[in-house]
């Protein structure tokens, strides 16, 4: 599935205080003030409300826990559905990655994210960027690379309406139904893309590597663990939280 947008997309730039965003006092690998281009198909970071920002509030704390458990930097990191590239920049800073892969469904999103990463790393720290647009990890096949850590934060909401999928501003809002075989327990919780990403990741992981899934849904925690088991992994939870509707 490669989505190509036919209508014009606009972009804007935002400035992100990296220390505040990542809750790190002394940055070593990325610029303290991140200049980030956001395209029309990219999910807008919530830099003024960090508790609502997935990377700042969920992914980055998870990266910190994983880094602490590993007790060593990771050489390579990959993001499926990167959006702005802030998740990759966070992994460069927190995990120490020096080779990064990134994908998204829109070509202009990937181009902007790759530029954001290149522009915002600190000079002495070299980072190799591997990128492509299309379905899950498929765009990275030409690189024939494997990664220590693969991260995914994919949408849960499926839509049968092709026009809704095509016209929705944010690529993360709706996705077309999949044709692959997926366990009913996974379908029931609308976690198909997460399951398929886990399956694909097996061909892209280094031995001993890990997939970090960022899951947002009204689903019991044991259902998330079951998702990992069904995909053939030994799952564990790094961090979790709740949001309360008022």
Q: Which of 124, 115, 119 is nearest to 33 (CA)?
A: 119
pLDDT at 89: 98
Query: What whole-number distance in Å separates Cα of residue 47 and Cα of residue 36?
Result: 11
Encoding tokens for residue 192?
């198909």
161 pLDDT more than 50: no
pLDDT at 193: 93
162 pLDDT more than 50: no
* Greatest Cα pair distance in the chain: 49
> Hunting for tokens 């944010």 — which residue is that?
170
Q: What is the DSSP letter of 238?
A: S
Percent of the chain with pLDDT over 70: 86
Q: What is the DSSP letter of 121?
A: B
220 pLDDT more than 60: yes
Judge whether 41 and 5 are in contact, CB under 8 Å. yes
Going by pLDDT thresholds of 50, 70 and 90, the confidence category of residue 174 is low
| Domains in the chain, CATH or no CATH each | 12-230 (3.40.50.150)
Mean pLDDT of the chain: 87
> What are the distances in angstroms from CA 149 to CA 31, 95, 177, 198?
22, 9, 27, 12
The 10s digit of each residue's pLDDT in 75-111 is 999 999 999 999 999 999 999 999 999 999 999 999 9
Cβ neighbours around 11 below 10 Å, total: 13
Cβ neighbours around 32 below 10 Å, total: 14
The 10s digit of each residue's pLDDT in 21-79 is 999 999 999 999 999 999 988 888 999 999 999 999 999 999 999 999 999 999 999 99
Query: Higher-confidence residue: 244 or 23?
Result: 23
Helix (H) or strand (E) holding 13: strand 11-17
pTM of the predicted protein model: 0.88
Which residues are CB-neighbours of 36 under 8 A, at least 6 positions away? 13, 14, 15, 16, 45, 84, 85, 86, 116, 120
Encoding tokens for residue 92?
């460069």
E-assigned strand segments in 72-152 = 76-80, 99-104, 128-133, 147-152
């Amino acid at each position: 599935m490669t989505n190509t947008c036919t209508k014009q997309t606009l972009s804007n730039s935002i400035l992100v205080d990296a220390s505040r965003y990542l809750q790190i006092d002394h940055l070593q690998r990325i610029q303290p003030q991140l200049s980030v281009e956001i395209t029309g198909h990219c999910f807008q970071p919530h830099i003024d409300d960090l508790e609502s920002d997935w990377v700042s509030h969920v992914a980055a704390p998870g990266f910190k826990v994983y880094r602490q458990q590993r007790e060593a930097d990771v050489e390579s990191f990959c993001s499926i559905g990167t959006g702005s590239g802030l998740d990759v920049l966070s992994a460069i800073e927190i995990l120490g990655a020096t080779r990064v892969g990134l994908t998204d469904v829109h070509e202009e999103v990937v181009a902007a994210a790759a530029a954001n990463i290149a522009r915002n790393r600190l000079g002495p720290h070299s980072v190799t960027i591997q990128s492509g647009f299309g379905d899950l990890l498929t765009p990275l096949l030409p690189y024939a690379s494997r990664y220590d850590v693969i991260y995914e934060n994919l949408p849960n909401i499926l839509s049968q309406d092709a026009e809704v999928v095509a016209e929705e501003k944010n690529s993360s809002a709706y996705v077309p139904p999949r044709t692959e075989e997926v366990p009913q327990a996974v379908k029931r919780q609308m976690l198909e893309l997460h399951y398929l990403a886990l399956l694909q990741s097996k061909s892209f992981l280094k031995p001993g590597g890990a997939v970090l899934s960022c899951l947002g849904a009204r689903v019991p925690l044991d259902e998330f663990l079951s998702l990992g088991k069904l995909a053939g992994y030994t799952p564990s939870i790094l961090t979790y939280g709740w949001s309360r509707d008022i």
